[in-house]
């Protein structure tokens, strides 16, 4: 088991994101405990583990939807803002698109709301600039020919591309993905993997992605983090939370990394799709 409190090669770099002894509790239920991480800017962290072990909770903490019960999260040395902002984009498995707006207007809305919070509409030059910026992102994700379509006219893969464009148009420094491709067919998922890696390499985002597919986590990530409960009390199942029990670098020697993945405990591996 890798102790995430000990500095790895990546952790010796001045951290872009620092997670310091973070716990998350809801009443007497402990969901996460003793999270300690250093993340360099530009890393692609894939998060795996059995259902209910706190992966999505960790994303919500990074997004600012929730505040840690204990500990703190630092972004560039400063406390993470306690509400979502433009520095962090998020894409969920369920598309968060507006069905009554065109593809272009879905993306341009993200630029309009901060400047016109009451009506969400820009006029004149500001509107043209927002539309041009939105169109550029949509071309980047392969939707340049669908600007005037509505979400219902798009396939599942195209709707997910739209959701990614919505997140990227705000120019976030951190992209959070909560099983974004889980509902897609295998062929479409492979296309989305290629798109995501292309965008990550081009924009140099710092990415955290929850997945139940070890192959997906292994293929996309530079680090694979396994969430699990090292302490279990049968008489009080909520007394202890999950932490990161394995933190596996994937970009230095993938053969060694694959061996580490294959050595995961059976109760973790059985709840995930195996790496190809």
pLDDT in tens, 175-217: 999 998 888 888 888 899 999 999 998 888 999 999 988 889 9
The Cβ of residue 154 has, within 10 Å, a number of other Cβ atoms equal to 18
- Give SS3 for 5: coil
Give the residues across from 249 on adjacent strands.
223
Q: What is the pLDDT of residue 110?
A: 83
User: What are the residues facing 179 on neighbouring strands?
Assistant: none
Cα angle for residues 214, 193, 251 (degrees, 5° grid) = 60
Beta carbons of 193 and 216 less than 8 angstroms apart: yes
pLDDT at 239 (0 to 100): 80
Tens-level pLDDT at each residue, the chain (276 residues) = 444 444 444 445 579 999 999 999 999 999 999 999 999 999 999 999 988 899 999 999 999 999 999 999 999 999 998 888 888 999 987 667 889 999 999 999 888 876 655 455 666 787 888 899 999 999 999 999 999 999 999 998 899 899 999 999 989 999 999 998 888 888 888 899 999 999 998 888 999 999 988 889 988 999 999 999 988 777 777 788 999 999 999 876 666 666 666 667 777 766 666 544
Q: Which fold has domain 1-87+172-276?
A: Rossmann fold (3.40.50)
> Residue for token digits 């400063």?
78
CB atoms within 10 A of CB 242: 26
Q: Are 45 and 244 in contact (CB under 8 A)?
A: no
What is the layout of strands, in order, in the sheet containing 223-228? 88-92, 174-178, 206-210, 44-49, 223-228, 243-249
pLDDT for residue 10: 45
Residue 275 is predicted with a pLDDT of 44
Residue ranges matching CATH 3.40.50.300 in the chain: 1-87+172-276
Dig out the tokens for 34 from the structure.
């003793």
Query: What single-letter DSSP state applies at residue 175?
Result: E
Nearest to 171 by CA among 137, 139, 138, 220: 137
Q: Copy the structure tokens of residue 249.
A: 């670098």
Helical (H) or strand (E) element with 47: strand 44-49
- Residue for token pair 């739209």: 162
pLDDT in tens, 73-108: 999 999 998 888 888 999 987 667 889 999 999 999
Contacts of 212 (CB under 8 A, 6+ apart): 48, 51, 179, 182, 271, 272, 273
**Distance (Å, whole) CA 64 – CA 47:** 18
């Amino acid at each position: 088991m890798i102790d995430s409190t000990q500095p790895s090669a990546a952790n010796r770099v001045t951290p872009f994101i620092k997670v310091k002894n973070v716990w998350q509790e809801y009443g007497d239920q402990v969901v996460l405990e003793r999270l300690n991480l250093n993340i360099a800017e530009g890393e692609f962290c894939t998060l795996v583990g059995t259902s209910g072990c706190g992966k999505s909770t960790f994303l919500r903490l990074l997004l600012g939807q929730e505040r840690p019960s204990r500990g703190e999260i630092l972004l560039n040395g400063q406390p993470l803002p306690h509400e979502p902002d433009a520095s962090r984009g998020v894409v969920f498995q369920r598309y968060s698109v507006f069905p009554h707006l065109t593809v272009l207007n879905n993306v341009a809305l993200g630029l309009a709301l901060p400047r016109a919070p009451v009506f969400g509409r820009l006029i004149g030059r500001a509107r043209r600039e927002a539309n041009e910026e939105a169109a550029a992102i949509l071309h980047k994700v392969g939707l340049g020919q669908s600007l005037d379509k509505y979400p219902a006219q798009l396939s599942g893969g195209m709707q997910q591309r739209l959701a990614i464009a919505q997140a990227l148009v705000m120019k976030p420094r951190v992209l959070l993905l909560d099983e974004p491709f889980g509902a897609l067919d295998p062929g479409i998922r492979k296309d989305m993997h290629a798109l995501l890696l292309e965008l990550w390499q081009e924009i140099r985002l710092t990415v955290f992605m929850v997945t139940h597919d070890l192959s997906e986590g292994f293929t996309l990530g530079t680090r694979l983090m396994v969430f699990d409960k090292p302490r279990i009390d049968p008489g009080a199942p909520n007394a202890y939370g999950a932490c990161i029990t394995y933190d596996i670098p994937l970009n230095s020697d993938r053969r060694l990394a694959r061996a580490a993945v294959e050595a995961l405990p059976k109760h973790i591996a059985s709840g995930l799709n195996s790496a190809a």
